[in-house]
Amino acid sequence: MIRLILIALSICFSNLTWAADIEVGHAGALKNFMHKGDLSAKFSLSELKDKDHVYALGAVENLKGEIQIFDGSPAVTFAKNGKVLFDNTFEKNASLIVYTQVAAWQDVAIPSDTVTRSQLENYLKKAASDRGLNIEKPVPFLITGKTKFIDWHVIDWDPADKVHTHAKHIHSGPHGRIENADALILGFYSNKHRAIFTHHASDLHMHFITKDKTLAGHIDDLELGRKMVLKLPRTGK
């Protein structure tokens, strides 16, 4: 019976992969932006509107903004006249998206010597594996607390520009560094999706929203602050 349920779920959701009993779906691919210039819509956020406990990140159609959904609440950011504005609806389409549903999270203290992005990536793999998550499949995670800094951007791509680079993506719209920011970070780890939904040199893709909800977007780099908390899906095991 359980096998039949899993088969049915896999039919209902395209591109689903499994981390223990956590489903992760995705649509679009970074390599299609970089090498093919394909910025077209691959997914409608409306498909997530009536689902419980949705978490998602990605890029708006035509690379005109950043997608963040935290526990079913959209915080899509886009640029207008150089400023970052919010769209809190499910009305946008995505040229890239990664999404999941997590009903419960377990807190994991982050060691004081885990500060950089690469250190976080290494620690996350161990912490997830130790808690029964299959790290050969994508793993969603949250991080809460005060960061030392976040380097961020909200993409605002010029449709006339046909040559894509990571640096040009960062500088196409509002970007910068915020220091000592109290933030909620959403990320996905995968060692199988480089150039799909993680960049070619990383197994992490992370977005954030500040605690005061004045800024949200893509994380280019960060350093963690003291006593930050990693949250991993509670699998029921």
Question: Domain residue spans in the chain?
Answer: 2-101, 105-233
Task: Identify the CATH assignment for 105-233 out of 3.40.50.300, 3.30.1330.80, 1.10.3720.10, 3.40.50.720.
Answer: 3.30.1330.80
pLDDT tens digits for range 76-104: 999 999 999 999 999 999 999 999 999 99
Strands (E), 147-215: 149-153, 175-179, 182-189, 204-210
For residues 182-188, give the mean pLDDT: 98
pLDDT tens digits for range 133-145: 999 999 999 999 9
For residues 127-136, give the mean pLDDT: 95
CATH 1.10.4080.10 fits 2-101, yes or no: no
pLDDT tens digits for range 152-166: 999 999 999 999 999
Distance linking the first and last C-alpha atoms of the chain? 19
Supply the DSSP string of 58-70, one letter for each residue: EEEGGG-SEEEEE
Asked if 2-101 and 105-233 have one fold, the answer is: yes
For residue 91, give the nearest of 107, 62, 67, 126 by alpha carbon.
Answer: 67
How confident is residue 4, by pLDDT bands cut at 50, 70 and 90?
very low
How confident is residue 21, by pLDDT bands cut at 50, 70 and 90?
low
